[in-house]
Amino acid sequence: MVSEQLFDVLVIGAGPTGMACAIACQRQGFRVVLVDKGCLTNSLFHYPANMTFFTTPELLEIGDMPFSSPNQKPTRAEALEYYRKVSEHYKLDIRQYERVDRVSGSDGDFRVHTVDRFEREHVHRAQKLIVATGYYDLPNYLGLPGEDLPKVMHYYDEPHPYFAQDVLVIGGKNSAAIAALDLWRHGARVTLVHRGAELHRHIKYWIKPDIENRIKNGEVAAYFHTTVSDITEDTVTLETPEGEKVLPNQFVFALTGYHPDFDFIESLGVNLDAENARCPICDPATLESNAKGIYLAGVIVAGERTNEIFIENGRFHGDLIAKDIAAKVPVTA
Ligand SMILES: Cc1cc2nc3c(=O)[nH]c(=O)nc-3n(C[C@H](O)[C@H](O)[C@H](O)COP(=O)(O)OP(=O)(O)OC[C@H]3O[C@@H](n4cnc5c(N)ncnc54)[C@H](O)[C@@H]3O)c2cc1C
């Protein structure tokens, strides 16, 4: 179904950054629509159920709306509540559960082709596009034999199903450390495997001593300088500095990071900088990409360096973009 309405701005991705962009554009007087393949703040919804953010609440705020929390660091549930309230307050027009498949047309009249949950096709029209699609949809697969078994997961949710089970956690950063601790605290037998010599130096200062002490006490088994070479229904095989080790295993969490959908970005005509972490080419002052009329926002601006842009700094991208669009498009709303 082709929409008759020509929006001024269409934002792909209704995460915190996409929402901040939509608010900034609405404030300039533009008619804006957001499209997300999942629910509002879909990535946050899929974060571990009991997670706590690393950031204090005021750094997660968008649209100048206060985020109050009794906690020094807010929980996932509080953040979901907050972003819902922001969306209601600004009356954001969000088309949830529509995945953007491709874009046709050009600056001034883009056609955004989406597919909904029932495989029905829709087309939205907009003068300008903002791409804020994040990085959480595509895990960094390890390419291991057995990685496709249903017991292997790339997202950690909650600990209860793993009580009294042998669980392997692969990774050496925050997500792996947090999952290993949560699993151990809820009765799983946890083994942590990391290819590096030690846990990553970016692990948050309040998490590091906790995981290090669990390892020192033998409560979480840990193998460093170690990789996984095989996963079967009942075992995992580790390549350790002392040789091969086969461990009993019922579940594996491969928490080795995620990456932006580079194919999608390129399909829009946006070039990637092969010399610089595949950063999409864009003007840092306006965030307009080499594809005229298409802007980039949030974590995708840093390409493969997914640990450079977070909610705390990506939330300001909307203002840069809205200012540039305002200089180019007459307000119609
Ligand atoms: C466990 C964890 C904890 C974190 N804690 C913090 C923290 O404390 N502080 C902080 O600042 N950052 C934190 N981050 C990072 C932060 O959450 C991300 O950087 C942030 O979500 C990026 O925002 P975004 O809007 O750019 O992308 P996202 O929030 O990922 O939003 C992208 C949206 O685009 C949608 N989308 C993708 N492709 C399509 C498509 N083709 N069609 C339609 N929709 C699409 C997705 O469904 C999603 O809703 C954390 C990340 C993780 C994983």
Tokens at residue 80, please? 């979901």
In our burial notation (b when 16+ CB lie closer than 10 A, e otherwise), range 207-216 reads bbebbbebbe
Task: State which ligand 1 atom lies nearest to the alpha carbon of 311.
Answer: 11
- The amino acid at 195: R
* Among candidate residues 223, 254, 285, the one where a domain is terminated: 254
Residue 47 pLDDT: 97
| Residue 147 domain-assigned (yes or no) | no
| 184-197 per-position pLDDT tens digit | 999 999 999 999 99
Domain count, the chain: 2
| Residue 272 domain-assigned (yes or no) | yes
Q: How far is the C-alpha of 322 from the C-alpha of 216, rounded, in Å?
A: 51
Among 131, 187, 52, 116, smallest CA distance to 301 is for: 131
CB atoms within 10 A of CB 304: 17
Res. 333: pLDDT tops 60: no
Residue 267 pLDDT: 98
Residues paired with 222 in a beta bridge: 192
Residue 202 pLDDT: 87
Residues with C-beta less than 6 Å from any ligand 1 atom: 12-18, 35-38, 42-43, 47, 51, 53-55, 99-100, 132-134, 136-137, 175, 264, 298-299, 310-312, 314
- The amino acid at 110: F
227 and 170 within one domain: yes
| Residue 293 domain-assigned (yes or no) | yes
Q: How far is the C-alpha of 22 from the C-alpha of 319, rounded, in Å?
A: 10
| Residue 314 domain-assigned (yes or no) | yes
Task: State which ligand 1 atom lies nearest to the alpha carbon of 73.
Answer: 8
123 and 14 within one domain: yes
Average pLDDT over all residues of the chain: 96
Q: How confident is the model at residue 330 (pLDDT cuts 50, 70, 90)?
A: confident
169 and 65 within one domain: no
Give the mean pLDDT of 325-333: 84
The best mutation among 23, 34, 36 to test binding of ligand 1, ranked by most ligand atoms within 8 Å of the C-beta, falls on 36
* Among candidate residues 254, 276, 301, the one where a domain is terminated: 254
In which domain, by residue range, is 286 found?
Answer: 3-138+258-328
| Residue 145 domain-assigned (yes or no) | no
| Residue 17 domain-assigned (yes or no) | yes
122 and 194 within one domain: no
Among 70, 21, 6, smallest CA distance to 311 is for: 21
Residue 332 pLDDT: 65
| 246-286 per-position pLDDT tens digit | 999 999 999 999 999 999 999 999 999 999 999 999 999 99
| 77-131 per-position pLDDT tens digit | 999 999 999 999 999 999 999 999 999 999 999 999 999 999 999 999 999 999 9
238 and 322 within one domain: no
98 and 181 within one domain: no
Task: State which ligand 1 atom lies nearest to the alpha carbon of 48.
Answer: 1
Print the SS3 string covering 109-138: EEEEEEEECCCCEEEEEEEEEEECCCCCCE
Distance 253 CA to ligand 1 centre (A): 20
Task: State which ligand 1 atom lies nearest to the alpha carbon of 298.
Answer: 26
DSSP structural state of residue 281: P
264 and 240 within one domain: no
Which whole-number Å values give the CA distances from 18 to 11, 15, 195, 311, 320, in the listed order? 6, 5, 35, 10, 13
Which whole-number Å values give the CA distances from 110 to 65, 94, 123, in the listed order? 31, 18, 10
Tokens at residue 172, please? 């050496």
| Residue 146 domain-assigned (yes or no) | no
Among 58, 88, 57, 59, smallest CA distance to 75 is for: 57
Distance 192 CA to ligand 1 centre (A): 26
Distance 136 CA to ligand 1 centre (A): 6
Q: How far is the C-alpha of 116 from the C-alpha of 102, rounded, in Å?
A: 13
| 234-252 per-position pLDDT tens digit | 999 999 999 999 999 999 9
132 and 9 within one domain: yes
47 and 12 within one domain: yes
Residue 5 pLDDT: 80
Indicate which CATH number applies to the domain containing 249: 3.50.50.60
216 and 124 within one domain: no
280 and 237 within one domain: no
State the angle between helix axes of 208-216 and 174-185 in degrees (0 to 180), rounded to the nearest 10. Answer: 60
What does pTM read for this prediction?
Answer: 0.96
| 8-58 per-position pLDDT tens digit | 999 999 999 999 999 999 999 999 999 999 999 999 999 999 999 999 999
Backbone Cα Rg of the chain:
22
Res. 229: pLDDT tops 70: yes
Percent of the chain with pLDDT over 90: 96
Residue 4 pLDDT: 66
Distance 32 CA to ligand 1 centre (A): 20
Among 20, 5, 6, smallest CA distance to 61 is for: 20
118 and 266 within one domain: yes
* Among candidate residues 233, 254, 275, the one where a domain is terminated: 254
Residues 49 and 43 sit within 8 Å (Cβ to Cβ): no
Distance 135 CA to ligand 1 centre (A): 6
